[in-house]
Structure 1
Amino acid sequence: MEKRIRKTVIAATGVIAMALSLCACQVGGSASAPTATKAASDTITMMNYPDWIGANEAAAFKKKTGCALKQVSTPDGGDSAWVNIIRQNEGSYDMSLAGMKVAETLDNAGLLEKFDASKVPNLKNVDPKYTKAFPWGIPVEQGKIGIIYNKELVSDPPSSWKELFAQAKDYSGKLLMPSYSSDVIDVALLATGHDVNTNHADDIEDAKQAVLDIKQYVKAFVDSDAASQVYDGSAAMAVVYDYDYASAKANGDKVGWVSPSEGMPAYLDGWVPLKGTANLDKVYKLMDFHLDKANYADFINTTQASWVMPSVADSLDASLTKNEALNPETAGKTIYGTLQSAEIQQAVASAWQEIQNS
């Protein structure tokens, strides 16, 4: 698994959610979900992206507290499958990684314990703008969509999403776009002057048409390898996540990053306590442990994600702090996507279907 391929679940549709509702894959273990239990134990069971934790964190937490961490992989099938797994197995999981949309959905469904910030003293280390945006638990990392370009092939890169769409013809067959519906529609919404969190189906129609207008110039809609193609020159520009740029930049200085002036569609991930856990006190201890500066630095250095704790910067690898896309102080304007109405979700799904079939 490529280090960041985990993010594909964020933008995937929930079409196969029910088929996956009884499936979960334990990291390093069997393919069955854990048996539901209400009894307290010395093991916290967490739904998480595989290995999405500090390299030494779980072992250090067990050494300090005697409590083990069992990580169970998030399912394929998008947000709906994620929520369905938790719903079908209430009490089996103590906590979960969750993006804002998943966290809000879980909360609306009554599947979260009410988060008590006073139980996590180290939450004070996190920038308040992130704790405000993520009230369901502790925010842990973020990411955003921008533009990367090959410096040898692009002398005048676009400074905005609008300019990217206007310049698409100039880079016919050399432009890569994501293969995820929400990513494509979000950047097209910004390119056409709309809000990524629009409540108007007509705005989705405008975004769809903008994508259809440039589709003939797009080399491919891809779910991986966009950054490597820009790096080797087989593509000139690509719309990618910040971690894709970081991966390419680690190989040399052949690619550049653009933070479009309209802002960048972004996500904020966090840890949430799940309803029915008998280990809530231990979940809070793990959350507080995670937000200790040394442990959080281990997490960011391991995952190479964009951080939410300002004071951790002096403990991070220089390749991260010097990366203009990952460093929150240099990254530019971000726009978090919120939970959409059923009407807008359907409009996005229909627009994406038409884009794919045209």
Structure 2
Amino acid sequence: MKVSRIIAMASAALGIGLLTYPAKSAEPTEITFFIWAGSNQGIVPTEVIEKYRKDHPDVKINILESNNTITYPKMVAAYRTTPDKPLVHCGFFNVDSITKGDVEGLWAPLDPKRVTNLANIEPKYARPDNKGTPYMMSGIGILYNKNVVKEPPTTWADMWDPKNRGRITMFDYDNRMLVIAARLNGGGEDNIDPGFKVWSENAKNFRALVDSNDAVKNLLVSGDAWMAPWFSGLSYVWIREGAPLGFAIPKEGTIGFPLYLSMVQGVNPAQKAVCEDLINALMSPANAGRYSKLTFAVSLVKNATLDDEQKNDPLLNAELAATSIPFDYGSIGQDAAEWRERWDREVKFKLR
């Protein structure tokens, strides 16, 4: 078998095409790819990047490992001052950064002819004009203490049921809980008043409003709080660690919290080609399935290769994504400041 054929077959197995990269130019192509730090989130993208470096030794790929809270504001500052010299060219971004970036005009469209795996995404989370692609998600359901809650919650309305006075904890200013309450009471993102009415009337359900993962975990494990809206991935980890917790999927569905791969405006054609190759490789069935496995996320690449555990566990399988509720996070982001003020006045005031 010819060497060129062997190389082509090996590259195809890893989801990286050799033929799509543009011809060499006088200046070597250099990009910075952003990945999240910790929790196995860097393993698969680092492997994909290392493979690409070997196949394209004239390309320099820098890896920036951090979080969106720190990195996104720096990206925006660079885009405003030197739009043709991005700080980060492509990488991983949460829904908060994606929606803020939409306002800034930060994201560049992906070419479906190059990023062919766009054809395999969960359509309800598709981005307008392919300005990024959904990759993974965590489904927000109801995490509860099994020692005190004998019958698992069945509906989001259990969160504000008067029988649960003093039993609920959640992140302070969690707008998702406002939206789900509004949706189940005749409103939604564009009519949030029913959500505020629900929580204002049932503010005494809160045992505590917190600002950290550990606070949620400690309150639930101790039994000081009985229930919390929480992420499927983290719930899976805590349950595997032996915490006395259960994860309930409400009959209305979990709330989808998607994670994206995206590319910024200002990339030149050669950088665009590298970014699109890397994103397409990460979306291959094998890489998407492995990333999902390592990070306990649910793949939004529908043909991801899943093992038996991923297929059979309701916190990890594709059904969680298919039945999840997509929110209009862009609309939520535009109203977040006003909702925060109203939350203080109409809900937290009643906890004093």
User: Is this a same-fold pair by TM over 0.5?
Assistant: yes
1:230 aligns to what SS in structure 2?
A: helix
The amino acid of 2:49's aligned partner reads A
Deviations 1:104-140 (A, max 9, x none): 5534543333321111123334344444678212321
How far is the alpha carbon of 1:155 from its aligned partner?
2.0
How far is the alpha carbon of 1:149 from its aligned partner?
1.5
Match of 1:190 in 2: 183
For residue 246 of structure 1, the aligned residue among 231, 236, 240 is: 236
Match of 1:49 in 2: 36
Is residue 99–residue 333 contact of structure 2 (8 Å, CA) maintained in 1? no
- Cα separation, partners in 2 of 1:83 and 1:199, compared to 1, 3 Å: farther
Match of 2:199 in 1: 211
2:101 aligns to what SS in structure 1?
A: helix
Match of 2:296 in 1: 304
1:349 aligns to what SS in structure 2?
A: helix
1:177 aligns to what SS in structure 2?
A: strand
Match of 1:271 in 2: 261
Is residue 95–residue 272 contact of structure 1 (8 Å, CA) maintained in 2? yes
Match of 1:136 in 2: 131
Which deviates the most, 72-81 or 116-125?
72-81
- Flag structure 1 segments of 5+ consecutive residues without an equivalent: 1-38
Which deviates the most, 143-152 or 90-99?
90-99
Is residue 61–residue 289 contact of structure 1 (8 Å, CA) maintained in 2? no
Match of 1:162 in 2: 157
1:117 aligns to what SS in structure 2?
A: coil
| Percent pairwise identity | 19
- Cα separation, partners in 2 of 1:325 and 1:298, compared to 1, 3 Å: closer
- Cα separation, partners in 2 of 1:81 and 1:283, compared to 1, 3 Å: closer
- Structure 1: how far apart are the matches of 2:112 and 2:241? 41
Matched, 1:291 2:291: no
- Structure 1: how far apart are the matches of 2:76 and 2:198? 32
How far is the alpha carbon of 1:254 from its aligned partner?
3.5
Deviations 1:45-66 (A, max 9, x none): 1344325333433333323333
How far is the alpha carbon of 1:344 from its aligned partner?
3.3
- Structure 2: how far apart are the matches of 1:218 and 1:233? 13
How far is the alpha carbon of 1:264 from its aligned partner?
3.4
Which deviates the most, 259-268 or 235-244?
259-268
- Cα separation, partners in 2 of 1:232 and 1:60, compared to 1, 3 Å: farther
- Cα separation, partners in 2 of 1:174 and 1:102, compared to 1, 3 Å: same
Which deviates the most, 92-101 or 207-216?
92-101
2:298 aligns to what SS in structure 1?
A: coil
> TM-score, normalised to structure 1's length?
0.73
The amino acid of 2:246's aligned partner reads G
1:339 aligns to what SS in structure 2?
A: helix
How far is the alpha carbon of 1:172 from its aligned partner?
3.6
- Cα separation, partners in 2 of 1:181 and 1:333, compared to 1, 3 Å: closer
- Cα separation, partners in 2 of 1:341 and 1:221, compared to 1, 3 Å: closer
- Structure 1: how far apart are the matches of 2:304 and 2:128? 20
1:289 aligns to what SS in structure 2?
A: helix
Matched, 1:257 2:247: yes
**What is the aligned length?**
311
Is residue 144–residue 242 contact of structure 1 (8 Å, CA) maintained in 2? yes
Is residue 181–residue 349 contact of structure 1 (8 Å, CA) maintained in 2? no
Match of 2:11 in 1: none
Match of 1:349 in 2: 340
TM-align CA RMSD: 3.2
The amino acid of 1:188's aligned partner reads A
Matched, 1:181 2:181: no
